[in-house]
Structure 1
Amino acid sequence: MFQGSISISMCLHQTSFCFICSHLTSGQKEGDELRRNSDVMEILRKTRFPRVHGMGDDNSPQMILEHDRIIWLGDLNYRIALSYRFAKALVEMCNWKALLENDQLRIEQRRGHVFKRWSEGRIYFPPTYKYSNNSDRYAGEDQHLREKRRTPAWCDRILWYGRGLCQLSYVRGESKFSDHRPVYSVFSAEVVSINHSRIWKNSSCSSARIEVEELLPLSHGYTELSFF
């Protein structure tokens, strides 16, 4: 079941950013990945941000893909198209390459069905789903607990779109409060600033001094909360 998305639009100097957090359709039946593809297309089609007037930015982006830099994260729910036992054996061998070759998100991207021209960092961590509560065991390992068995998968992902973004890290956390393991990432972002007819680009605080106030977004930021 598709549970919705939250989209945030903001501008930093003359560069627009959009952040999307979504929970796509769950399920590991054959064909469920197509429903997740549809969720993505619906979010891209339906999400709208109001034009900003009187703020020196009459061309502010209205749609997600009109932004300069975009980051999409959340429980995307794409699964690994293998049996539980085969996938679990590959996890135990830390064979991420074989697992990713059967990852639905990567497969659908290669086929051009979803997230075309979007980027994702290299994955060097175990699948993030599905864990037994408050443990390091994948659900279903201990059949005496009668837990629902789910093929381990990287349900939790971070992708980006647009030039000027450089991913510095992509890792998972080990919090045990959920049946998922969280993932997080650090990016450096190129920002265009026009100051007294001088145009400069800065991608790190070490290359030019930036005051804290300059890093704050303009006062016109908008959030779209969607439940389809």
Structure 2
Amino acid sequence: MATVNPRRPTEPSGRKLSIHVVTWNIASEAPPLDLNDLLQLNNQNLNLDMYVIGLQEMNCGIMSLLSDTAFEDPWSSFFMEVLSPLSFIKVSSVRMQGLLLLVFAKYQHLPFIQIISTKSIPTGFFGFWGNKGGVNICLKLYGYYVSIINCHLPPHVANNDQRLEHFDQILEMQNVGRHDIPNILDHDLILWFGDLNFRIEDFGLHFVRESIKNRCYTDLWQKDQLNIAKRQDPLLREFQEGPLRFPPTYKFDKNSDNYDTSEKKRKPAWTDRILWRLKRQPHAGSYTPKLPAPNFSLSLKSYISHMMYTISDHKPVSGTFDLEVKPVVFIPMITLMHEGLWTTENDILISYSSTPDFLSSPWDWIGLYKVYINVNNIPETEDQFLLCYYSNSLQSVAGISNPFKIQPRVILQEDPPGEAQPQI
């Protein structure tokens, strides 16, 4: 095995990542045929780097759970089939009964994403049942700590105090218990979303529906339980949210755009929300919070609901963010290169080098992967491949090569006799 010593690249001044976050209570339904609007695949102005997808109320019947244990669940499979041809790779996932959290990233970002932990925090039935609670993926992104939490909080307007208790409980249980990992409140970014189940207080059903019909949301915002709680709770106040300029996303008759017409006639509410919190920097010599670090900033570009989807009694919500970072880590721990011309009929040679602080393991491995390309945007249609170095100790990809081609094997056959015809 040969090694190479690449020249140390110039430290980058900054990098912007576009992140699309999705939350949807799918009410145990299977994926629809088309999710292009939800994933913003038709938006030519977007060049996304990451997808963060959180689902609630996935089908968690016994047969479904057994099937999903043996095979990929249908929603994960659907997202992978749609996103793989666009050069996205599933970085990590975690599931707890009906809760599912998925993170996808463009392959070029993989060496700079390190999975720290995945966690499930059940809060249903006094913490013994996972029908309610939260799932978390904690990762380092270009050297910064990012915690992603998808949760499902208790329902009904009267259970607001219980919702707030579960919020605190899920947050408190995120700490991984390792000395080298900071407390979650010291992470650079927390993305918190899901079916938070906060309701609209005081107003009656008729007033709420008339306000929605006339698109007069101002009065409803004032009585939204989450907005009220943020005004009263100092910690919750640190979580930001975009403006609710879309209609309440709950509760609809399935396969329609009509709010609940059943006997219960649930009052509409903004149950499905996306929040975020940036780490605050203390003033010198004091503990008073200041502005976030200038090397790490997040801006919301879009916060919308997707009313066209009718399979559930909830409408999905998405938020698109621009994350601007000055990378702490900008050199891959492993640099991989393929040596010479690769063909399917000859031995192959791989060269790689590592940074001085990289700890290898006998369980590390190098994989060869086919690169899927979008032929609508890239005229190149020949198969291309990548080498990926997987670190067992980091549970992450530590290095990735540039795309390259492999020459197919050529077999000479006599057909007809006396004439050599190449067969690929």
Task: Find out whether 1:45 has 2:45 as its counterpart.
Answer: no
Q: Flag the structure with higher strand content.
A: 2
1:104 alignment partner, one of 220, 225, 228: 225
Q: Identify the residue that residue 253 of structure 2 maps to in structure 1.
A: 132
Residue 211 of structure 2 aligns with an amino acid whose one-letter code is L
Once the two structures are superposed, the pairs formed by residues 52-67 of structure 1 within 5 Å of their partners are 59-61=180-182, 63-67=183-187
Counterpart-to-counterpart distance in 1, 2:222 and 2:214:
15
Question: Runs of 5+ in structure 2 lacking a partner?
Answer: 1-122, 125-131, 279-291, 332-386, 388-392, 397-424
**Contact 1:120 1:160 survives alignment (8 Å):** yes
Q: How far, CA to CA, are the matches of 2:254 and 2:330 in structure 1?
A: 56
Give the SS at the match of 1:188.
strand
Equivalent position of 1:151 in the other structure: 267
Residues 1:68 and 2:202 are matched in the alignment: no
Displacement of 1:165 in angstroms is 1.2
Q: Give the drift of 1:117.
A: 1.3
> Residue 170 of structure 1: SS of its match in structure 2?
strand
Residue in structure 1 matched with residue 301 of structure 2 by the alignment:
168
* 2:133 corresponding residue in structure 1: 4
Contact 2:249/2:316, CA 8 A, preserved across alignment:
yes
Which has the higher relative contact order, 1 or 2, with Cα contacts under 8 A spaced 6 or more apart?
Answer: 1
**Displacement of 1:66:** 2.2
Give the corresponding residue for 2:198: 78
Q: TM-score, normalised by structure 2?
A: 0.42
Corresponding residue number in structure 2 for 1:15: 144
1:30-41 alignment runs, 5 A limit: 32-41=159-168
1:50 deviates by 5.0
Please state whether the residue corresponding to 2:253 is helix, strand or coil.
coil
| CA distance in structure 1 between the partners assigned to 2:330 and 2:250 by the alignment | 51
Q: How much identity, in percent, do the aligned residues show?
A: 34
Query: 1:71, CA displacement in angstroms?
Result: 0.7
Are the aligned partners of 1:13 and 1:193 in contact in 2 as well (CA < 8 Å)?
yes
Taking only aligned residues, the RMSD between alpha carbons, in angstroms, comes to 2.4
Quick one: distance in 1 between partners of 2:234 and 2:207?
26
> Helix, strand or coil: the match of 1:120?
coil
Max radius of gyration: which structure? 2
CA distance in 1, matches of 2:148, 2:263: 35
Q: Which runs of 5+ in 1 are unaligned?
A: 52-57, 141-145, 198-212, 222-228
CA distance, structure 2, for counterparts of residue 159 and residue 196 of structure 1: 28
The letter of the residue matching 2:152 is H
CA distance in 2, matches of 1:195, 1:64: 20
- Number of equivalenced pairs: 188
- Shift >3 Å, 4+ stretches: 194-197, 218-221
Q: In structure 2, which of residues 323, 337, 346 is the aligned counterpart of residue 189 of structure 1?
A: 323
- Answer yes or no: is the 8 Å Cα contact 1:73–1:156 preserved in 2: yes
**Distance in structure 1 (CA, Å) of the matches to 2:172 and 2:300:** 26
Is the 8 Å Cα contact of residues 136 and 148 (structure 2) preserved in structure 1?
Answer: yes
Letter in 2 for 1:76: L
SS of the counterpart of 1:5?
Answer: strand
One-letter amino acid of the counterpart of residue 266, structure 2: R
The CA distance in 2 between the partners of 1:171 and 1:196, in whole Å, is: 33
1:89 to 210, 225, 235: 210
Is the contact between residue 14 and residue 192 of structure 1 (CA under 8 Å) also seen in structure 2? no
Contact map agreement 1:166 1:189 (CA 8 A) in 2? yes
Measure, in 2, the Cα distance between the counterparts of 1:195 and 1:184.
29
Q: Tell me by how many angstroms 1:190 deviates.
A: 2.5
TM, length-normalised to structure 1: 0.76
In 2 relative to 1, CA 76–124 (structure 1 residues): closer, same or farther, beyond 3 Å?
A: same
* CA distance in structure 1 between the aligned counterparts of 2:321 and 2:327, rounded to whole angstroms: 19
